[in-house]
């Protein structure tokens, strides 16, 4: 996905639009399980706020009984 953030120097509005479209499709499908493979942010290893923004987005999409995330390098750093 890697939507990035307007706060990042590498911000690309088309990536945000891609994420918004994907998010809408997820909402419409009402999945029981949401599994995202790959990178969630463009610069999350540099800009913590990108991880926080994506976590908030995923929290709003989670399956009803599950809200666990596994980020290979830093889930322990998130609140």
In this model, does residue 6 exceed pLDDT 70? no
Query: In angstroms, rounded to a whole number, what is the distance separating the alpha carbons of residues 73 and 51?
Result: 11
Q: Could you give the CA distance from residue 49 to residue 43 in angstroms, rounded to a whole number?
A: 9
The alpha carbons of the chain give a radius of gyration, in whole angstroms, of 12
Number of independent structural domains in the chain: 1
Answer whether residue 6 is part of any domain. Answer: no
The model's pLDDT over 21-76, given as tens digits with 9 standing for 90+, comes to: 888 988 888 887 777 776 676 665 666 777 788 778 877 876 666 555 555 545 45
Is 54 within the bounds of a domain? yes
Three-class secondary structure of residue 13 per DSSP: helix
The conformation of residue 77, written as its DSSP 8-state character, comes to G
Q: Write the DSSP assignment of 58-69 as a string of letters.
A: HHTT--TT----
SS3 39: coil
Residues spanned by the domain of 27: 13-77
Q: pTM of this prediction?
A: 0.58
């Amino acid at each position: 996905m890697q939507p990035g953030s307007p706060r990042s120097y590498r911000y690309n509005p088309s990536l945000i639009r891609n994420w918004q479209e994907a998010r809408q499709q997820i909402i419409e499908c009402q999945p029981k399980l949401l599994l995202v493979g790959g990178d969630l942010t463009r610069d999350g290893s540099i800009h913590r706020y990108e991880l926080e923004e994506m976590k908030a987005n995923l929290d709003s999409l989670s399956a009803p009984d599950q809200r666990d995330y596994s980020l290979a390098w830093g889930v322990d750093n998130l609140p």
